[in-house]
């Protein structure tokens, strides 16, 4: 079965690089498309879904922000399963301060230069443990498109999804500080927000076990 991967906020295929070393069938990264002005997360997911080859069986794997996109894509196309890692499936699973910030609608007025997390706080927020993981995260953040990042933050804060797909599965880090677990997860792993980077072998094992189960 083909596995399509949607990465996290502003990240790219490097998020799946380490986990692919342990998977029999690698995750195929879905490249981001440019968001339209004031585009909602749902509308963006509709457009991104058009880039998926649905002619053969497939599943979606979404990490963090990518999990929210994958959840929305699941409404439009028909994957065998949608697996979200370190993510949320509905607006109510977002931390209260996310939703409060969304109601204040301040993001459009924040300079792009202030959107990124300062590097000294990055390791703490992401809860990455291994130096290799820290280097990867810093490099991804450094090369992130700030326009895309600003749009993505705003789209998360105003996300309105309330529907959980029946074929949705969850993998979550026990010590996730970015999106603390607020719902039951199919698998909880020791680690923070970027368990897919810090614990790739365990994530790969869980993915293969989940994909082997009937939908």
Give the tens place of pLDDT for each residue, 42-66. 999 999 999 999 999 999 999 999 9
CB 156 within 8 A of CB 98: yes
CATH superfamily of the 2-212 domain: Alpha/Beta hydrolase fold, catalytic domain (3.40.50.1820)
3-class state of residue 28 by DSSP: strand
How confident is the model over 80-132, as pLDDT tens digits?
999 999 999 999 998 876 666 555 565 554 544 545 555 656 666 677 777 87
What DSSP string describes 99-135? HHHHHHT-GGGS-GGGTSPPHHHHHHHHT--SHHHHH
Between CA 80 and CA 207 the distance in angstroms is 13
Question: Average pLDDT in the 182-203 region?
Answer: 91
Q: Give the start-to-end residue ranges of the domains of the chain.
A: 2-212
Taking the whole predicted model, whether its pTM rises above 0.75 is answered as yes
Q: Is 41 left (phi over 0), alpha (psi -120 to 50) or beta?
A: alpha
pLDDT value at position 169?
Answer: 96
Using the structure block, give the residue that is written with the tokens 């880090």: 173
Between CA 81 and CA 211 the distance in angstroms is 8
CB 73 within 8 A of CB 52: yes
Reported confidence tier of residue 213, pLDDT bands at 50, 70, 90 = confident
CB 25 within 8 A of CB 1: yes
């Amino acid at each position: 079965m083909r596995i399509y991967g949607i990465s996290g906020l502003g990240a790219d295929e490097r998020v799946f690089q380490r986990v692919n070393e342990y998977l029999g069938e690698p995750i195929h990264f879905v490249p981001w498309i440019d968001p339209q002005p004031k585009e909602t997360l749902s509308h963006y997911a509709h457009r991104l879904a058009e880039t998926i080859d649905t002619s053969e069986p497939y599943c979606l794997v979404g990490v963090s922000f990518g999990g929210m996109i994958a959840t929305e894509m699941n409404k439009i196309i028909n994957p065998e399963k949608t697996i979200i890692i370190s993510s949320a499936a509905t607006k109510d699973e977002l931390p209260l301060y996310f939703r409060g910030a969304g109601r204040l609608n301040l993001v459009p007025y924040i300079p792009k230069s202030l959107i990124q997390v300062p590097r000294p706080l990055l390791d703490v927020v992401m809860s990455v443990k291994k130096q290799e993981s820290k280097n990867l995260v810093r490099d991804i953040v450094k090369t992130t498109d700030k326009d895309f990042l600003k749009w993505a933050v705003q789209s998360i804060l105003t996300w309105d999804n309330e529907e959980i797909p029946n074929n949705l599965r969850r993998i979550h880090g026990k010590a996730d500080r970015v999106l603390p677990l607020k719902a039951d997860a199919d698998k909880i792993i020791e680690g923070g927000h970027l368990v897919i980077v810090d614990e790739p072998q365990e994530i790969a094992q869980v993915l293969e076990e989940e994909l082997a189960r009937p939908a």
